[in-house]
């Protein structure tokens, strides 16, 4: 039986890198994507900006203080989604089993592909080269016997890296990592562990499961016990029984600012909805996942009589669900999705389309159609005006 082999493919500084590719004058400069005013949060930034301490989910006003020379750009979600879809198609040339977990990262099950594609390092090298040739972008690839190990490996070789953790060497790799580098633990959790005298991964592994659960609670205790042994903690489950489209993001620091969380959810909703447009589907169910700093998690969903008609309608539903379920505790991960999938040509009650959401629906279809034809949308405001004006004449 073939040894399990997974790639975790992570696109380097994705939004900012696309801006630098589209505008070569931005190359090697501190690019910060998120907005041109002092409001909002950083969606992404180039590695040049990160040297100033800027990171995603940071308030824009704070990023401006840290990096006054930064080049602040608005989010062009449709462009990033266009490039994401293109790269995912490249990935499908290497594996029929792909799990996209966000706009800029995904897993490939490479088990049993050696006869066709060569050993994992050769296949990964070829994949990196093909993405660079086709897009001009760099990706980092982690290789491991589980998705958990593969994701940690990619984090350790960014940017533009390739790192394979051989089967049987998982513990050795984990013991070389700082405890805060273990995926899902982070700075605050490592401080909590340090308060109990646990400062290394090797020390953490000496504790029994029940002791960790007693110290840190059931959710965190079980996570720590599995993670320090390289046992996949169940964070990257496969395709659900009922088909859905979802994206999630793990925050660099635990967040309790409602305005920042709202912006993150807004971005995720647009990523998810434009993916449904690309696949020619719609969904009747909006669902949300929240994981707190203590590793406890909650989820919620709402199913409508008719499919959601726009990214704005999805966000409105998601924000209602989030506001109802969020306990005001610091959040470490959020995810949103659309379920109860139907084809986009499914008949619906016509009177439901005489709404603001219909106009949003039309606009998003036009944007997606233009992107699919290779046309980059530059004057979105003009296009929106024309569509709104046409809708008012109905």
pLDDT, one tens digit per residue, over 132-145 is 999 999 999 999 99
Is 170-227 a CATH 1.10.150.20 domain?
yes
Could you tell me which residue, 352 or 105, shows the higher pLDDT?
A: 105
pLDDT bin (cut points 50, 70, 90) of residue 332 is confident
Q: Tell me how far apart the alpha carbons of residues 379 and 128 are, in angstroms, rounded to a whole number.
A: 33
- pLDDT mean across residues, the chain: 84
What DSSP state is assigned to residue 43?
Answer: -
Model pLDDT, residue 157: 95
Residue range 228-280, pLDDT digits in tens: 998 876 655 544 444 788 888 888 778 888 988 998 898 889 888 888 887 78
pLDDT bin (cut points 50, 70, 90) of residue 361 is low
Residue range 63-74, pLDDT digits in tens: 999 999 999 999
CB 166 within 8 A of CB 147: no
Q: Is the pLDDT of residue 224 over 70?
A: yes
Q: Where in the chain is the domain with CATH 1.10.150.20?
A: 170-227
Q: Where in the chain is the domain with CATH 3.40.1170.60?
A: 14-77
If you average pLDDT over residues 175-197, what whole number do you get?
A: 89
Four-residue CA torsion sign, 170, 171, 175, 176:
negative
Q: What percent of the chain has pLDDT over 70?
A: 85
Q: If you average pLDDT over each of 270-274, 288-292, 354-358, which comes out highest? A: 288-292
Class of domain 14-77: alpha beta
Site of tokens 């975790």:
8
Model pLDDT, residue 244: 80
Architecture of the domain made up of 245-375: 2-Layer Sandwich (3.30)
Catalytic site residues? 105
Site of tokens 């490249």:
90
Coil, helix or strand at residue 150: helix
Rounded to 5°, the CA angle 228-219-172 comes to 5
| Interhelix angle 258-279/356-372, nearest 10 degrees | 60
Model pLDDT, residue 83: 93
* 132 Cβ neighbours under 8 A, 6+ residues apart: 138
Could you tell me which residue, 374 or 344, shows the higher pLDDT?
A: 344
Q: Is the pLDDT of residue 221 over 60?
A: yes
Q: Tell me how far apart the alpha carbons of residues 148 and 154 are, in angstroms, rounded to a whole number.
A: 10
CB 293 within 8 A of CB 329: yes
Model pLDDT, residue 265: 92
Model pLDDT, residue 381: 33
CB 165 within 8 A of CB 154: no
Strands 331-343, 44-45: pairing is unpaired
Residue range 9-65, pLDDT digits in tens: 999 999 999 999 999 999 999 999 988 877 778 989 999 999 999 998 888 999 999
Q: Is the pLDDT of residue 359 over 60?
A: no
Q: Is the pLDDT of residue 185 over 50?
A: yes
């Amino acid at each position: 039986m073939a040894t399990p082999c997974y790639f975790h493919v992570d696109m380097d500084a994705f939004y900012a890198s696309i801006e630098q590719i589209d505008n070569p004058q931005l190359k090697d400069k501190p690019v910060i994507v998120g907005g041109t005013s002092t409001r909002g949060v950083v969606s992404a930034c180039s590695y040049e900006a990160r040297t100033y301490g800027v990171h995603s989910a940071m308030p824009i006003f704070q990023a401006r203080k840290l990096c006054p020379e930064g080049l602040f750009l608005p989010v062009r979600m449709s462009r990033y989604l266009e490039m994401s879809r293109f790269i995912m198609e490249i990935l499908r040339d290497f594996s029929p089993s792909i799990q996209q977990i966000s706009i800029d990262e995904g897993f490939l099950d490479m088990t049993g592909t050696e006869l066709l594609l060569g050993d994992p390092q050769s296949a990964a090298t070829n994949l990196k080269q093909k993405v660079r040739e086709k897009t001009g972008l760099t990706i980092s690839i982690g290789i491991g016997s589980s998705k958990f190990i593969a994701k940690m490996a990619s984090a350790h070789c960014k940017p533009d890296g390739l790192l394979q953790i051989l089967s049987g060497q998982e513990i050795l790799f984990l013991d070389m990592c700082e405890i805060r580098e273990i995926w899902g633990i982070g700075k605050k959790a490592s401080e909590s562990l340090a308060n109990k005298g646990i400062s290394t991964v090797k020390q953490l592994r000496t504790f029994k499961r029940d002791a960790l659960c007693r110290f840190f609670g059931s959710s965190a205790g079980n996570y720590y016990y599995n993670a320090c042994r390289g046992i996949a903690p169940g964070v990257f489950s496969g395709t659900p029984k009922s088909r859905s489209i979802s994206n999630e993001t793990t925050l660099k620091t635990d967040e309790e600012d409602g305005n920042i969380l709202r912006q993150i959810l807004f971005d995720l909703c647009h990523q998810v909805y434009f993916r449904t447009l690309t696949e020619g589907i719609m969904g009747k169910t909006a669902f949300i996942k929240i994981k707190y700093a203590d590793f406890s998690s909650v989820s919620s969903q709402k199913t409508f009589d008719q499919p959601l008609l726009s990214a704005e309608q999805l966000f409105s539903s998601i924000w209602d669900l989030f506001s109802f379920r969020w306990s005001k505790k610091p959040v470490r991960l959020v995810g949103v999705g659309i379920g109860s999938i139907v084809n986009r040509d499914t008949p619906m009650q016509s009177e439901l389309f005489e709404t603001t959401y219909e106009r949003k629906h039309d606009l998003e279809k036009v944007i997606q159609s233009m992107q699919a034809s290779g046309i980059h949308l530059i004057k979105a405001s003009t296009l929106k005006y024309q569509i709104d004006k046409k809708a008012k004449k109905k």
